[in-house]
Chains A and B, each alone.
Chain A
């Protein structure tokens, strides 16, 4: 089975003094989250599409899903304290509600990347059916600098650098096994789900993203996203 998991657990702390988490803010007359999920609904191979939201926003998420989406495959569940905890809450839901096999996979995606395309989703599905973990990336445009205490430690060769996006896709069994191997400190500090598999020694395959598949994190991003969308006349 192929599952989708939309990570909507963010609290929106980088959005300034906005009370509502960023995934619920409006872009082109709809919540950003809804735009994102609409793209996954169009992929018929998904057995279920989980939306993992903050516990305090469960009722709100269920309400907007009911208003905008009409697909029984969409399920709303609550997430955890941080990104990886939220991811694993979704995985736990799948384990409890489906008879998972060794071949089952999950395509995870940030709720605040609504410009995801059919091609990226399809490429992730194809890749994760052949590799245990998949990351979506774009070549780095800016030079990447590694630094500490206001000093450069290293300037890696740009041609070998990529910027990570989502989806990130996993063989579910491999992901669970790799996560269980992490220490509590690692679980708390890891900001990237693919690194869970990387630390466990798994091969992580790369899929090409798009520069416009960016994450709406700040008020500036939302302005850019709003300016990018044209309404069909």
Chain B
């Protein structure tokens, strides 16, 4: 099948490329419908990555958060018209110990491998999950980010000690919001505290037990376990504060991506017996858990719907460029485009 793939070729420049898709008899073809922008996409779009990374990874179709409509399933498990989530991580091998999203051999869409900005997306059949009918499409577009939050909190449950009294989440952006929303369900008995730099963003976190500005944290605040959702150079300050406020032998899950190496006070990590664990991306299991969790919680879906920020329909590459620019100027929420190119 000849497929039109819309790739970023240089900063702020998209071009169309025809690609002959070599499909297996079990692959599923999906027409993308709603695509959600991630900071990682914006770093490529603005050219805010190391030149070596840009040279290596571009040209490449962006976007790894999105849903679509099945147009073809040779095995008939899905019907044309079925609304599905697309899993961007594509494993090429299996491993009994290492999860699919940590295998170096896995291909991840919009990171060296074409993302969802395509006419059609051809997927291995285990990369497609049906979305329940009562899910909002624009919210479902960022199910991948929800699954990333599920991955992180699942990792935390597996690593942490028995102290679940207070869960501290650093970061008042999209990832912090999603993680806090999930934490209220996955850590239902815990007190959830969110720490951020912007009071007007923290105001959106009405469902958590407490919020603090990061420069007004009470000196005696004690956190049982922590999740870092900041990224950039802000993660250095966040990790320093986590180390200061985390109980001895507590666990911190690190999720924020920084382009530059950051300093960590390892003396205090050692002294308190802390565990710092990285968490990145997600796999099919996390998508399944996310969909199941949202299916059983109307209030969680409602909170996530409140995260829908900029929306619009894109029909041309000029529309796409304008949409990315619009998102750059957006202060709060996820940007979701209805894909009609």
Contact = CB atoms under 8 A, between A and B. Distances in A.
B120 A230 contact: no
Contacts, number: 55
Interface string B1-12: 110100000000
Q: Interface residues of A: mostly helix, strand, loop or mixed?
A: loop
B80 A44 contact: yes
B71 A44 contact: yes
Interface stretch (A17-25, A112-120, A176-184): A112-120
Given A115-B2, A118-B31, A119-B315, A232 B19 contact: yes
Interface of A: 28-29, 35, 38-39, 41-44, 70, 114-115, 117-119, 210, 212, 228-232
Contact of B119 (A114, A117, A228): A117
B22 A42 contact: no
Contact of B20 (A29, A44, A118, A119): A29
Contact of A119 (B18, B71, B341): B341
B20 A232 contact: yes
B4 A115 contact: yes
Given A42-B71, A119-B340, A229 B119 contact: no
B129 interface: no
A82 B22 CA distance: 36
B132 interface: no
B2 A229 contact: yes
Q: Which 9 A-B pairs have the closest CB atoms?
A: A44-B80, A28-B20, A42-B71, A231-B20, A38-B1, A229-B18, A35-B2, A228-B18, A230-B19
Given A35-B1, A115-B4, A231 B120 contact: no
B220 to A, nearest CB: 57
Nearest to B5: A230
Nearest to B2: A35
A212 B31 contact: no
B29 A42 contact: yes
A229 B20 contact: yes
B21 interface: yes
Interface residues of B, number: 22
A210 B4 CA distance: 11
A114 B2 contact: yes
Contacts of B4: 115, 117, 212
Q: Which of B20, B21, B315, B340 has the most CB of A within 10 A?
A: B20
B81 interface: yes
A42 B23 CA distance: 14
Interface of B: 1-2, 4, 16-22, 29, 31, 71-72, 74, 80-81, 119-120, 315, 340-341
B144 to A, nearest CB: 22
Contacts of A70: 74
B2 A118 contact: no
B314 to A, nearest CB: 11
B249 to A, nearest CB: 47
Contacts of B21: 232
Nearest to B80: A44
Contact of A230 (B17, B29, B74, B119): B17
B280 to A, nearest CB: 25
Contacts of A38: 1-2
27 contacts: A29-B20, A39-B1, A39-B2, A41-B72, A42-B29, A42-B72, A44-B80, A70-B74, A114-B2, A115-B2, A117-B119, A118-B31, A118-B120, A119-B119, A119-B315, A210-B16, A212-B18, A229-B2, A229-B18, A230-B18, A230-B19, A230-B20, A231-B19, A231-B20, A231-B22, A232-B20, A232-B21
Contacts of B29: 42
Contacts of B20: 28-29, 229-232
A232 B18 CA distance: 10
A37 to B, nearest CB: 11
A231 B315 CA distance: 25
A126 to B, nearest CB: 11
Contacts of B71: 42-44, 118
Given A119-B315, A212-B18, A232-B22, 14 more contacts: A39-B1, A41-B72, A42-B71, A42-B72, A42-B120, A44-B71, A70-B74, A115-B2, A118-B119, A118-B120, A119-B341, A230-B17, A230-B20, A231-B19
Contacts of A28: 2, 20
Nearest to B17: A230
A115 B18 CA distance: 8
A7 B119 CA distance: 23
A231 B1 CA distance: 10
Q: Which of A29, A39, A117, A231 has the most CB of B within 10 A?
A: A117
Contacts of B341: 119
A38 B18 CA distance: 14
Contacts of B72: 41-42
